[in-house]
Amino acid sequence: MNYGLIQAVVSREWRTRVLKPSFLLATLLLPVVSIGFVVGAILLTESAEVNNTVLVEDAPGLISRLDRASGQYVPRCPGCFPERQNLNYHFTQEAPADSIWQAEGHTVLVEYDGSILQNQSGYLVYEKSPGASAKRNIERDLSRAMEHARVLESTELNWSAYQALKMNVNLVDRGIEKGQRVKGGGDEIRGGIGFMFSALLLLVLMIYGGVIMRSVVEEKANHVVEVLVAAVRPEELLLGKVVGLGAVAVTQLLAWTILSSLGFSVFQFLFDSGTIGQAATLGSGEVPADLLTLMAENDGLSHLLDIQWSVMIGGAIAFYIGGYLLYGSLFAAVGSSVQSEQEGQGMILPITAPLMFGYFAATMAVENPDLPILEWLGWFPLTSPVIMLVRIAGGVALWEVALSWALLMLTARLTLGLAGRLYRFGVLHDGSRSGWKLLVHWMQGHGK
Amino acid sequence: MTPTLSLSQLKKSYGSQRVLDGVTFDVPPGSIVGLLGPNGAGKSTLIRSIMGIVEPDGGEVLLSGQPWSREGARGIGYLPEERGLYKDMRVGQQAVYFAQLKGMKKPEAVASLKTWFERLEVQGWWDKKVSDISKGMAQKIQFICTVVHQPKLLILDEPLSGFDPINARRIIEEVRSLAADGTSVLLSTHDMPSVERLCDQVVMLNQGRVVLSGSSSELRETGWDGSQEVLFKGNDMAFTNALGALANLDSIGPTSISGVRKARIRLRDGVEPTDVLRALTQTMEVMEFIKVRPTMETLFIDAVSKVESETTAES
């Protein structure tokens, strides 16, 4: 291998693509658009929230009483109506006309009669809808207040005693490893993270595999290739092309990661400073918290800390490289055997079928990471890149990761050699024949 | 002197089809060798075998006396018939890339390319995109990319296709100049006039075999069939009588000069041109007496026809 020549090919492939205005635009625009979309959605949600002043018409007097000191009706169970953002409650036991309660500044009227305890139904009256979220909160608060009323009316228990009797069973996962109990659970969360890595890998392989194929077809079409293969061995040219385009992919992913991280940091700063996103936390009556604390306190998100991130990131990079070399060389071989991109599209399906199968298997792995078939697919080089990323996230022995990767790299090396051989025949082939028969013909060493 | 390129019994088959069948010839240093042959004669396969794009089944390729190697082949300046440039790259950037593939360092490549761009008057196109330049201009750039690394051996496949007559002459001059400086050239073309103008030697291929080879002048001399062109003042009857049994008269007719006639004759075996000239000058005024050698095109067609008729007879 002449690494100087490979480097020249890599450099050309990288420069001609990365320095294109369309590439720069796509690379800069995607994170900006994505972050803008998220922030926009939050701001839109905030601006859409309206202050609701709710008048509860408690005609049967089930949940309110007259406070003699203030002369106002107040809830019998103040804790049942917690302070909520954009939701203020007032109570009455009279039945005011709509024009009157509206003139008093109320936006919503809750109306029911004594049968509510049986049929559990009442009315929400308004001119402008309070919104689905506000309606849910009103229903929740009213239900609790009615529950309180029924407890007091139909049992001898007081409310505190009733609350103390309520049960909420929580099962904490415990796994067994080497005869020892260890922390368990969180399979879905960890599997989901692995699946995200797999999905991204699939996306990169499909996009950049297509770019490799197009590039080979283009070089055949503009007749540059004969000059190239006269100077560079087809295998070197192929490797340079695959690595060069891989470098373009890495550049784009890196740029997206950095820009997205910056965007997330800005979002986090704004969140923590209360500029955006604090409405929900304040409204629920909790102490305002920073974003990371909220994540750490979340049961599901805490499982993220269980993932061996060094193995996960290292494994992802290793399997991206192996998968990319393997599939990239296959895409190049297809490109060399066809005369147009459209022709190549028809031949891609059988190549990507194992990858797609692996992807669907990875979706199963999210639910059940210990399926035996996943172990086998993790050894099979055509599916291992997508499967192993899910398995690594779920927790797998390091030797399994290393062996699976070694098998993948060995296959990638053999495929690269085979693709180079096909490429040698294919790039100079300008006949009308193309397709799998031709590729098999070349594999047997018959070329022109 | 060691030939720059030496081919010995080169063989190549595709399936049952034999494309090269024991091709043997040399390209001496500083010479221009024309490679001729009809379509499908095996010229492209021969060139690709020399370049290492195609692996021959047998025979030997020596580059300056050394067995073929990838490094040796990389030093060859190769201009293929099917050639092109990346449309999305700038001219200068692309030329530097090709020079780097030939083993040149970037600064060295840029300096050499700048010289060549000035020499062929395309310096204003360095920063243009290939998609913005004409086909003829692109051909010039391709020629520059072929010679930029000062190769010892140039292989040019139809180098003049796409050029207008003025630029074609310019390229011919450059090829001559390179040969004069010691570069050996293997020129594959169907353009017979350029072969006659340029080539010191000619190799004719047909059905994968060398059917004719030698220096252009030798071949034309060897292929001479006794034809002479005569310009004379006199009448046709006297001319015919003077020829007698020395030569056959192929044609005779007037010229644009009043009273001057032109005849095409073919000497009979064993007759020297001086014998005929002496006989004619005894009875009339002979103004020109020119030996008419066959053109390369005639030799080419004759050689191909001969092989084809032999093949037909064998089968």
Got the DSSP string for B88-120? Answer: TSBHHHHHHHHHHHTT--HHHHHHHHHHHHHHT
Is B83 near chain A, with CB under 8 Å? yes
Token pair in block for residue B77: 């300046």
| Residues A399 and A265 reside in one and the same domain | yes
Please say which residue of A105, A139, A165 terminates a domain. Answer: A165
Classify the complex by whether its ipTM is higher than 0.85, answering yes or no.
no
pLDDT at A257: 79
Contact status, residue B257 vs residue B285, Cβ threshold 8 Å: no
| Residues A25 and A146 reside in one and the same domain | no
| Residues A310 and A429 reside in one and the same domain | yes
Is residue A261 one of the residues assigned to a domain?
Answer: yes
| Residues A229 and A304 reside in one and the same domain | yes
Is residue A448 one of the residues assigned to a domain?
Answer: no
Is B106 near chain A, with CB under 8 Å? no
**A66-101: string of b/e by CB count within 10 Å (b at 16+)?**
eeeeeeebebbbeebbeebbbbebbbbeeeeeeeeb
Is B51 near chain A, with CB under 8 Å? yes
Split at pLDDT 50, 70, 90, the class of B175 is very high
Averaged pLDDT for residues B57-82? 90
What distance in Å separates residue B67's CA from the closest CA in chain A? 17
> Is residue B45 within a helix (H) or strand (E), and if so which, with residue range?
helix B43-51
A232 vs B85, B88, B101: nearest CB: B101
Integer Cα distance of B156 and B77 in angstroms: 8
Residues of chain B with Cβ-Cβ distance to A4 below 8 Å are 103
pLDDT at B230: 93
Residue of A nearest to B16 (CA): A446
pLDDT at B74: 86
Residue among A434, A421, A431, A448 nearest B14 (CA): A448
Q: Among A19, A226, A446, which would you mutate to test the B interface (most chain B Cβ atoms within 10 Å of its Cβ)?
A: A226
pLDDT at B297: 81
| Residues A211 and A320 reside in one and the same domain | yes
Tell me whether residues A8 and B97 touch, CB distance under 8 A: yes
Tell me whether residues A226 and B80 touch, CB distance under 8 A: yes
pLDDT at B266: 92
| Residues A33 and A81 reside in one and the same domain | no
Is B12 near chain A, with CB under 8 Å? no
| Residues A107 and A14 reside in one and the same domain | no
Integer Cα distance of B287 and A261 in angstroms: 94
Residues of chain A with Cβ-Cβ distance to B74 below 8 Å are 231
| Residues A88 and A110 reside in one and the same domain | yes
| Residues A134 and A212 reside in one and the same domain | no
Residue in the block written with tokens 């029924």: A150
pLDDT at A183: 64
**A187-225: string of b/e by CB count within 10 Å (b at 16+)?**
bbbbbbbbbebbbebbebbbebbbbbbebbbbbbebbbb
B102 vs A20, A224, A231: nearest CB: A231
| Residues A15 and A33 reside in one and the same domain | yes
Token pair in block for residue A178: 């080497």
Residue B149's CB: how many other CB atoms inside 10 A?
Answer: 21
Strand, helix or coil at B3?
A: coil
Domains of chain B and any CATH numbers: 5-221 (3.40.50.300), 226-291 (3.30.70.260)
Residues of chain B with Cβ-Cβ distance to A446 below 8 Å are 14-15
- DSSP β-ladder status, B32-36 and B201-206: parallel
The string of pLDDT tens digits covering residues B130-140 is 888 888 888 89
Residue A128's CATH number: 3.40.190.10
Cβ-Cβ pairs closer than 8 A, A with B, add up to 58
Is B129 near chain A, with CB under 8 Å? no
Is residue A173 one of the residues assigned to a domain?
Answer: no
B70 vs A233, A446, A447: nearest CB: A233
Tell me whether residues A226 and B98 touch, CB distance under 8 A: no
Integer Cα distance of A116 and A124 in angstroms: 13
Tell me whether residues A222 and B84 touch, CB distance under 8 A: yes
Is B80 near chain A, with CB under 8 Å? yes
Is residue A218 one of the residues assigned to a domain?
Answer: yes
What distance in Å separates residue B81's CA from the closest CA in chain A? 9
Is residue A141 one of the residues assigned to a domain?
Answer: yes
* Mean residue pLDDT across chain B: 89
As for how many domains chain A has, the answer is 2
Name the percent of chain B lying above pLDDT 90: 46
Token pair in block for residue B44: 């492209």
Contact status, residue B167 vs residue B197, Cβ threshold 8 Å: no
Integer Cα distance of B230 and A114 in angstroms: 136
Chunked into runs of 10 residues, chain A (448 residues) has average pLDDT values of: 86 89 86 76 64 91 91 90 86 90 92 87 89 86 89 77 74 70 68 83 88 87 82 85 89 84 76 58 45 52 62 85 91 83 82 88 77 86 90 82 93 87 72 65 62
pLDDT at A323: 92
| Residues A214 and A335 reside in one and the same domain | yes
The string of pLDDT tens digits covering residues B253-279 is 988 888 899 999 999 988 899 999 999
What distance in Å separates residue A323's CA from the closest CA in chain B? 28
Please say which residue of A117, A140, A165 terminates a domain. Answer: A165
Tell me whether residues B86 and A224 touch, CB distance under 8 A: yes
Q: Among A16, A215, A227, which would you mutate to test the B interface (most chain B Cβ atoms within 10 Å of its Cβ)?
A: A227
**Which residues does A contribute to its contact with B (CB < 8 Å)?**
2, 4-5, 8-9, 12, 16, 20, 222-224, 226-233, 424, 428, 430, 446-448
The string of pLDDT tens digits covering residues B93-117 is 999 999 999 889 999 999 999 999 9
> Is residue B20 within a helix (H) or strand (E), and if so which, with residue range?
strand B17-27
Domain enclosing residue A158, as ranges:
51-165
Please say which residue of A130, A165, A200 terminates a domain. Answer: A165
Is residue A395 one of the residues assigned to a domain?
Answer: yes
Q: Is the pLDDT of residue B92 over 90?
A: yes
| Residues A384 and A253 reside in one and the same domain | yes
